[in-house]
Amino acid sequence: MNQLWKKGAVLAAISLFAFSATNCKPKSKDDNLGLLLAALYLSQGYEATVTLTATLADSSGIATRDGKVTIANGSTNTLTDGQGTVSDFTACQTAAALTVGSPGTGLDGEFVLNFKVNQSNGNFTLTAVGSSGADNSTNSCDTIAALDASTFTQAIGTASMDVNINSGDLTNKDQVKITASGFQITVKSVSVVIKGQYNLVSPTVGENICDGKNISGSPEVISGDITTTKTVSNSAILSGTVTIKSGGKLVVSPGATIFGNRGSSLFIQDNGTLDAQGTAANPICFTSSQNPGSRYPSDWGGIVIIGNGVGTRSAVTEGTTPQSYPRTTNSTVTLKYVIVEFAGNEVAPGDELNGISSYTVTNSSNYSYVQVHRGLDDSFEWWGGTVTGDHLLSTGGLDDDFDMDEGFNGTLNTFIGIKYPTTCGGSPSTDPHGMEMDGSHNAGVQPVSAGGTYSNPTVSNFTLVGAEVANGYGQRYREGMTGTFTNGLVYGFAKGNFQCNDNAGTPTTGSTNPTASSLVGEVMTGAKANAIGGQCTSLNTNQASTLTATPVTSLGNITATDCGFSATKPDFTTRSGLANNGGGASGNKWWDSWTVYRAR
């Protein structure tokens, strides 16, 4: 308890600093009130979320595939208010008639209850019913799936369930004991999240740093313009739009944590410099100022870099204070072993910031060993420019992992994009791609300014893994996009691997037609289909849809059940038999230990 109190006090201090540094308008939406409330979570009372996965079976052990299980308070009033009715229907996996088996194996009869409790110990009642419209042991799964919810009225029985949360082992099945008579409920797994803390098992170095384990003393609050050299050696809080410019320089030391207050963002422009170079043993983290366990995509803005490079138009950036691009003077950013997480604050309806936004950034800047995690919009987006990047990782982003637009001519090498299942939370965009790429703007007919060209990047050694999120392609090319794309692996996107669109207008540089070599995608089945126009001659010829399984060694805890919390970390090493393809082809596990995976 003392250790939890100390941890809570540090996080409360972070939130209170952020709150006190914000100048709120009385009539505006007070988003920063959430920070104060988060800081006071210890005084608000206990709350934990329990996820119980179990199997329902009859007395002889035959799984009940047409069942429904509902939880209610038993002898204690432990369920938190406002949850409504918490219930789940059982799963049907085996079409054939069932015989006596081993309850708790397979998916037949499985149900999942996700409920919140206001104390660590409690007694509950589980009520099990079956459907009047099917015979559990003989009807097919299609028949059972078509049953109306109103038919689940046949009483099976009630069971008593005791929950005793073990704060030292939050995934121990013994936290739940169920006593049933005349039927069986077998616990398969238990996972508990306690409000204000993570139940991480074997956290990575990066997770410890992002979650404030390295913090000492009080974080400095940074706001307004930075026009001199400022160094963050341990921790700081961004308040509002922070802009590095006019010769200003922000130096972030290895192992430091920078927390973004709600509505905050970091802009680098007009001869400004950001130098954030961590190490694998001490990465740098830009994260949400919300408490661990209460962090979500869009908690804060992200990093926005504006250079004086060339694009296909002059326009303004996204953000609460949009800036014009390209600028007349350059800015320089060096990122190495840097994590940016929970960014994507919505500054206007449908207008969200990205994890890292690069507007006409030149190759005086460099991003190497950089992860963007759980952003609401794109993880990495480039508008024009020639910036280089290598060893880039996008995890759990809710829109595009890598977005190249408006004349981007940079070089990207060795990168990986991994989607999270929608059950891990967040609201995906309407078209969450692995890579979205536009040659220009406005259907490819926007005039090319200052001698610029349509997007023509050099991209090699990449892995893109979707989670079957609706309407997503692995790669989408359009609006005069060219470029060279080699040694890529694409798998698990709901629409297909590759989409290549010709322009709606008549661009001066010709049609969308990237040069492709050694691109390998998933076998197209069902509703999935590559959509490659006839003008995309190289892509048509040099891609193969042959993958029948995820092309990485293991996705580890990036699953609908674990959502990045369990001990089994992912291994993105390219599977054997795929030669030198993908972002994990080298075999050196460049992402190992310093990256982060927990969904909240």
pLDDT tens per residue, range 288-324: 998 887 788 999 999 999 999 999 888 999 887 889 9
| Bridge partners of residue 130, in order along the sequence | 67, 154
Same domain, 246 and 284: yes
Whole-number Å distance between alpha carbons of 585 and 488: 10
Residue 392 in tokens: 């880039």
Closest CA relative to residue 415, chosen from 388, 386, 390, 387: 390
Is 594 a domain residue?
no
Is 261 a domain residue?
yes
Same domain, 122 and 140: yes
Is 200 a domain residue?
no
3-class SS of residue 212: coil
The CA–CA distances, whole Å, from 151 to 85, 91, 349, 389, 430 equal: 17, 16, 42, 57, 34
CA angle, 309 then 312 then 317, to 5°:
70
Is 423 a domain residue?
yes
Range of 542's domain? 205-574
Is 337 a domain residue?
yes
Alpha carbon distance, N-terminus to C-terminus of the chain: 23
Backbone angles phi, psi at 39, to 5 degrees: -65, -25
Whole-number Å distance between alpha carbons of 394 and 465: 10
| pLDDT at 450 (0 to 100) | 55
| pLDDT at 318 (0 to 100) | 87
Same domain, 368 and 404: yes
Give the number of domains in the chain.
3
| pLDDT at 6 (0 to 100) | 38
Is 595 a domain residue?
no
Is 597 a domain residue?
no
Is 588 a domain residue?
no
Same domain, 271 and 404: yes
| Bridge partners of residue 491, in order along the sequence | 465
Whole-number Å distance between alpha carbons of 470 and 362: 35
Same domain, 268 and 385: yes
Whole-number Å distance between alpha carbons of 305 and 242: 12
Contact 455, 482 (CB under 8 A): yes
Same domain, 370 and 401: yes
What pLDDT digit, counting tens, does each position of 178-225 carry? 999 999 999 998 888 777 666 678 899 999 999 998 898 889 999 999
Residue ranges in the chain whose pLDDT is less than 70: 1-44, 99-105, 136-137, 196-199, 347-351, 442-452, 503-510
Same domain, 313 and 228: yes
Contact 335, 357 (CB under 8 A): no
Same domain, 421 and 350: yes
3-class SS of residue 373: strand
